[in-house]
């Protein structure tokens, strides 16, 4: 048996006898030769089995191999310009681990999305899904690196919470022993604010939950959010760091995901343009743009998905829309001192119609004004006593934001729908597999 290697390390082992372990992606034969494409999780390689060069049983086992059979292949690793990937194995022997009894359900022919989602556990093995989820994995590391390099402290915020983080409208709730209702976290923000008063600059990165009734290409019921909170940051500084983070992450993703992006046939020229500064328009300016583009929208209305797409078409970079009307934003945002109708906040809209990828704001740091808003929203002040304490003991200007990971990954990959940007998507009509 040869040296066991991973396919991604082929270039270090040319001329050696190697063994790889994996699954059959594809097989074809021309009588006395089999070409077997094997994938091992790190890559794919063509294995060539020549009848005259192997023993009888190895050649026969090639005949019985089916798509997704698992096996061990041993042979001479050669450079081969004509082979996909540039390397090939001249097979000496094959050890079959398992041959499926049934035909693999996912074939080269095109399947409907419902079928693929129902077989998500198998669909993950396809080349496209492999590329997307490897990009997701790398992007998560890149984002974490940005915050560690910026000397932020990671704070793991709770998933089970006693107070509503964003809005009452889309909560998952559960009975919590003798303590009444608990909710699955919509955000880690409120806890990050407490931590910001201890550590200055903090971030969290975990699953968040929204019982969104929306069946759009941008909504999941469980999604991952990267949130940051910075003490002594105002709304402008908040936007500055968001554009730095996005530019850093896009640049590194382009450098580190070249192979995956080419599998996805992503037009990367659009991503190469992403660098600070990003255009910033006020909510009022956004409404004017939309009216000019023929939308029937009035000052005070929320800006929905189609409207976001229309605005993003005006720019080649992500665009900030800042200072929305207070009625359509969360209770914790700081009132705009220059226009009481609005709050100091920003939504970052991605190019190419990917919609809002970040929501951020300066936080209300006045005990009285925050209490007023909590009452107005019909929330129970007792449940927010701890949050109000932050305004009682050394209150401080602070700001933060949340990036939706799946929307960000969808944009980088150029996907039609966020459901492909997460391994096992949770949607209002899907919790299997
Ligand atoms: O705008 P949102 O609701 O902001 C917050 O939760 C703040 N507490 C964040 C903060 O300031 N710390 O959500 C932030 C981002 C959105 O811009 C979007 O990218 C993503 O989270 N998001 C969703 N992604 C997928 N499915 C959903 N249902 C989403 N809801 C929000
Ligand atoms: Mg938002």
The residue whose CA is least distant from atom 15 of ligand 1 is 404
pLDDT for 198: 98
DSSP helix, strand, coil percent of the chain (3-state; round to 5): 35, 25, 40
The ligand whose atoms approach the alpha carbon of 358 most closely is 1
CA nearest neighbour of 186 among 213, 214, 161, 156:
161
pLDDT for 258: 97
| Ranges in the chain, pLDDT < 70 | 1
Tokens of 119: 């077989």
The ligand whose atoms approach the alpha carbon of 164 most closely is 1
pLDDT for 110: 87
Residues contacting 310, CB < 8 A, separation 6+:
289, 290, 293, 295
Tokens of 233: 């940051």
Predicted structure pTM score: 0.97
- Identify the residue whose tokens are 């192979």: 259
Q: Residue 36's beta-bridge partner residues?
A: 27, 47
For ligand 2, the distance from its centroid to the CA atom of residue 261, given in whole angstroms, is 28
- Choosing from 227, 235, 401, 407 the residue with most ligand 1 atoms within 8 A of its CB, the one to mutate for a pocket test is 407
- Choosing from 225, 332, 418 the residue with most ligand 1 atoms within 8 A of its CB, the one to mutate for a pocket test is 225
Per DSSP bridges, beta strands 319-322 and 280-282 are: parallel
SS (H, E, C) 46-111: EEEEEHHHCCHHHHHHHHHCCCCCEEEEEEEEEECCCCCCCEEEEEEEEEEEECCCCCCCCCCCCC
For ligand 1, the distance from its centroid to the CA atom of residue 220, given in whole angstroms, is 11
pLDDT for 29: 94
For ligand 1, the distance from its centroid to the CA atom of residue 294, given in whole angstroms, is 28
The residue whose CA is least distant from atom 22 of ligand 1 is 404
The radius of gyration of the chain's CA atoms, rounded to the nearest angstrom, is 26
pLDDT for 161: 96
pLDDT for 169: 85
For ligand 2, the distance from its centroid to the CA atom of residue 358, given in whole angstroms, is 7
Q: Which residues surround ligand 2, an ion (CB under 5 A)?
A: 359
The ligand whose atoms approach the alpha carbon of 189 most closely is 1
- Pocket of ligand 1, beta carbon within 6 A: 166, 187, 189, 210, 212, 219-220, 223, 225, 227, 356-361, 400-402, 404, 406-407, 418
Q: Residue 88's beta-bridge partner residues?
A: 46, 78
The ligand whose atoms approach the alpha carbon of 403 most closely is 1
């Amino acid at each position: 048996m040869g040296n066991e290697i991973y396919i991604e390390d082929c270039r270090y082992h040319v001329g050696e006898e190697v063994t790889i372990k994996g699954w059959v992606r594809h097989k074809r034969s021309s009588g006395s030769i089999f070409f077997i494409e094997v994938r091992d999780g790190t890559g794919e390689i063509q294995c060539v089995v020549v009848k005259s060069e192997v023993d009888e049983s190895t050649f026969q086992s090639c005949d019985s191999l089916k798509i997704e059979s698992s096996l061990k292949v041993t042979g001479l690793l050669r450079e081969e310009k004509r082979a996909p990937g540039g390397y090939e194995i001249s097979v000496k022997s094959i050890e079959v681990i398992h041959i499926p009894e049934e035909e693999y359900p996912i074939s080269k022919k095109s399947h409907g999305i419902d079928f693929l989602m129902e077989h998500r556990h198998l669909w993950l093995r396809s080349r496209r899904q492999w590329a997307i989820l490897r990009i997701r994995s790398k992007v998560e590391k890149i984002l974490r690196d940005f915050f560690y390099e910026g000397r932020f402290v990671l704070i793991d915020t709770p998933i089970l919470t006693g107070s509503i983080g964003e809005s009452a409208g889309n909560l998952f709730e559960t009975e919590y022993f003798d303590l009444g209702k608990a909710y699955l976290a919509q955000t880690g923000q409120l806890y990050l604010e407490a931590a910001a008063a201890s550590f200055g600059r903090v971030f969290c990165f975990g699953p968040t939950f929204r019982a969104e009734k929306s069946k759009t290409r941008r909504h999941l019921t469980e999604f991952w959010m990267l949130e940051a909170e910075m003490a002594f940051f105002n709304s402008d500084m908040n936007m500055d760091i968001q554009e730095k983070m996005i530019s850093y992450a896009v640049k590194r993703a382009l450098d580190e995901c070249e192979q995956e992006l080419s599998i996805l046939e992503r037009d990367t020229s659009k991503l190469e343009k992403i660098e600070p500064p990003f255009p910033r328009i006020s909510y009022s300016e956004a409404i004017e743009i939309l009216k000019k583009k023929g939308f029937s929208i009035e000052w005070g209305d929320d800006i929905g998905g189609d409207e976001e797409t229309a605005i993003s078409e005006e720019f080649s970079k992500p665009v900030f829309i800042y200072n929305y009307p207070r009625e359509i934003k969360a209770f914790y945002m700081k009132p705009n001192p220059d226009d009481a109708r609005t709050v100091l906040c920003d939504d970052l809209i991605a190019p190419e119609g990917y919609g809002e990828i970040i929501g951020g704001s300066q936080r209300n740091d006045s005990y009285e004004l925050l209490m007023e808003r909590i009452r107005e929203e019909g929330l129970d002040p007792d449940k927010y006593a701890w949050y109000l304490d932050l305004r009682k003991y050394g209150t401080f200007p602070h700001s933060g934001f949340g990036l939706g990971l799946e929307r960000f990954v969808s944009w980088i990959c150029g996907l039609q729908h966020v459901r492909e940007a997460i391994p096992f998507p949770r949607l209002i009509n899907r919790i299997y597999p």
